[in-house]
A and B are shown apart, each in its own frame.
Chain A
Amino acid sequence: MADLPTGEPASLVARSRRDGALDEALQRLAPGSSPGRPDTPDMHVTALRRLPPVPAQYAPFPEQIDRRLRDALAARGITQLYTHQAQSIDHALARRNVVVITPTASGKTLCYNAPVLHTILQDSSSRALYLFPTKALAQDQLVELQTMCETLAAPVPGSGQGGSGDQIGVFTYDGDTPQDARRSIRARAHLVLSNPDMLHSGILPHHPRWAKLFENLRFVVIDELHAYRGVFGSHLCNVLRRLRRVCRHYGSDPVFICSSATIANPRELAERLAERPFELVAESGAPRGEKFFVFVNPPIVNHQLGIRRSYLGETRRIAAEFLKRHLQLIVFAQSRLSTEILTTYLKDDFEAEPGAPERIRGYRGGYLPNRRREIEKGLREGAVRAVVSTNALELGIDIGALDVSVMAGYPGTIAATWQRAGRAGRRASRSAAVMVASSAPLDQFIVRNPSYFFDASPERALIDPDNLHILVDHIKCAAFEMPFSTTEAFGRHDLQEILGLLAEQGLVHRTGPAEDLDAPACESQWVWTNESYPADAVSLRSISSDNFVIVDTTRETRVIGETDFTSGPGTLHPKAIYIVEGRLYQVERLDFEGRKAFVREIDCDYYTTAITYPRVTVLDTFAEDGRRAHGEVHVVSRVVGFKKIKFYTNENVGSGELDLPEQQMHTTSYWLTVPVAIMAMLPYAADDRRDGVVGLAYAIRQVAQLLLMCDAHDIGISIDMETTAEEIAFPRKEAASGEKSRSGRSAHSVASWSTSSTKSPRIFIYDNYPGGIGFSAPLSRMHEELLSRTRRLISECECEHGCPGCVGPIGDTGPMAKAAALRILDLLMTPPLTADTADQTEAKLEHAG
Chain B
Amino acid sequence: MSTLADRIRGVLQGASVAATRVSDAVSPGATRPGNPPPVVQPGLDEGCTVPSAAVPGLGRIAAPNHATVLGGAWRRHGDHVCFVVESRRERSSPHGHSTIGALADGLREAAEEVPLLAGFSLQSPFMFFDLETTGLSGGAGTYAFLVGCASFDEDGAFTTRQFMLMRLADEQALLSSVADELSRAGALVSFNGKSFDRPLIESRYLYHRLAWAGAALPHLDMLHIARRFWRREAAAVDALGVDGDSGCSLGALERQLLGHRRQGDVAGFEIPQRYFQFVRTGDARPLVPVLAHNRLDLLSLAALTTKVLRLVKDGEEHARLPREALALGHVYARAGLASRARTAYLRAAVMAQATSMAVVRTEALRALAVAARRSGEHEQAASYWRQVLDVRSCPPSIARQAREALAIHYEHRVGDLPVARAFALSNLQDGPHADESVRHRIARIERKIQTRPREAARLDLLSTGSAGQSSLDRPSLDRRL
Contact = CB atoms under 8 A, between A and B. Distances in A.
A758 interface: no
B168 A483 contact: yes
Nearest to B33: A506
Which of B2, B65, B141, B204 has most chain A Cβ within 10 Å?
Answer: B141
Interface string B1-19: 1101101111110011011
Contact of B137 (A493, A520, A532, A619): A532
Interface in B50-65: 55-57, 60-61, 63, 65
Given A205-B139, A771-B11, A519 B55 contact: no
Contacts of B203: 206, 208-209
A633 to B, nearest CB: 13
Given A493-B4, A527-B279, A620-B1, A519 B12 contact: no
A533 B141 contact: yes
Nearest to A183: B199
Nearest to A211: B206
A459 B139 CA distance: 40
A520 B81 contact: yes
B74 interface: yes
Contacts of B74: 516, 518-520
Interface in B280-306: 280, 282
Interface in A433-473: 468-469, 472
A137 to B, nearest CB: 26
Contacts of B61: 515-517
Given A208-B207, A516-B61, A516-B65, A533 B139 contact: yes
Interface stretch (A227-235, A316-324, A494-502): A494-502
Interface stretch (A128-136, A474-482, A579-587, A709-717): A474-482
B140 interface: yes
Which of B57, B135, B167, B282 has most chain A Cβ within 10 Å?
Answer: B167
Contacts of B46: none
A515 B142 CA distance: 24
Interface string B66-99: 1100000110000001010000000000000000
A505 B206 CA distance: 30
Which of A206, A207, A480, A505 has most chain B Cβ within 10 Å?
Answer: A505
B11 A480 contact: no
B58 to A, nearest CB: 9
Contacts of B19: 505, 530, 532
B166 interface: yes
Contacts, number: 141
A511 interface: yes
B184 interface: no
Contacts of A531: 23, 134-137, 142, 272-273
B430 interface: no
B371 to A, nearest CB: 30
Which of B5, B10, B12, B138 has most chain A Cβ within 10 Å?
Answer: B12
B57 A518 contact: yes
B206 A519 contact: no
A526 to B, nearest CB: 10
B7 A506 contact: no
A208 B172 CA distance: 14
Contacts of A208: 140, 203-204, 206-207
Contacts of B141: 205, 479-481, 528, 530, 533-534
A1 B273 CA distance: 56
B280 A529 contact: yes
Contact of B66 (A215, A501, A516, A529): A516
A352 to B, nearest CB: 31
Contact of A501 (B12, B18, B33, B83): B12
Interface string B311-324: 00000000000000
Contact of A530 (B4, B11, B65, B276): B276
B412 to A, nearest CB: 37
Interface in A528-570: 528-535, 537
A537 B15 contact: yes
Contact of A494 (B4, B33, B67): B4
A565 B282 CA distance: 43
A537 B137 CA distance: 13
B173 interface: yes
Interface string B131-154: 000111111111000000000000
B140 A482 contact: yes
Contact of A533 (B7, B32, B138): B138
B139 A506 contact: no
Given A505-B19, A525-B169, A529-B279, A468 B8 contact: yes
B22 interface: yes
Contacts of B7: 468
Contacts of A835: none
Contacts of A472: 8, 11-12
Contacts of A505: 12, 15-16, 19
B244 to A, nearest CB: 18
A600 interface: no
A519 B135 contact: no
Contacts of A632: 2
Nearest to B10: A666
Contacts of B276: 506, 509, 529-530
A662 to B, nearest CB: 15
A497 B5 contact: yes
B358 to A, nearest CB: 32
A193 to B, nearest CB: 22
A846 interface: no
A620 B10 CA distance: 14
Contacts of B16: 505
A211 B15 contact: no
A36 to B, nearest CB: 59
Contacts of B12: 472, 501-502, 505
Contacts of B56: 518
A532 B23 CA distance: 9
A206 B475 CA distance: 62
Nearest to B58: A518
Interface string A568-599: 00000000000000000000000000000000
Contacts of A498: 4, 8
Nearest to B272: A531
A144 interface: no
A528 B83 CA distance: 21
Contact of A523 (B67, B169, B272): B169
B112 interface: no
Contacts of B109: none
B169 A480 contact: no
A517 B60 contact: yes
Contacts of B166: 516, 519
A468 B169 contact: no
Contact of A497 (B4, B134, B137, B282): B4
B57 A517 contact: yes
A506 B23 CA distance: 12
A522 interface: yes
Nearest to B74: A518
Interface of A: 205-209, 211, 215, 250, 468-469, 472, 479-483, 493-494, 497-498, 501-502, 505-506, 509, 511, 514-520, 522-523, 525, 527-535, 537, 619-620, 622, 632, 666, 771
20 contacts: A205-B141, A207-B140, A208-B140, A208-B206, A472-B8, A480-B139, A481-B140, A483-B169, A493-B4, A497-B8, A511-B168, A515-B61, A515-B282, A516-B65, A518-B73, A519-B74, A530-B141, A531-B142, A531-B272, A533-B142
Interface of B: 1-2, 4-5, 7-12, 15-16, 18-19, 22-23, 32-33, 55-57, 60-61, 63, 65-67, 73-74, 81, 83, 134-142, 166-170, 173, 203-204, 206-207, 209, 272-273, 276, 279-280, 282
Given A511-B279, A532-B137, 14 more contacts: A206-B203, A472-B11, A480-B141, A493-B4, A498-B8, A511-B168, A511-B169, A515-B63, A518-B67, A520-B81, A533-B135, A533-B142, A535-B139, A620-B1
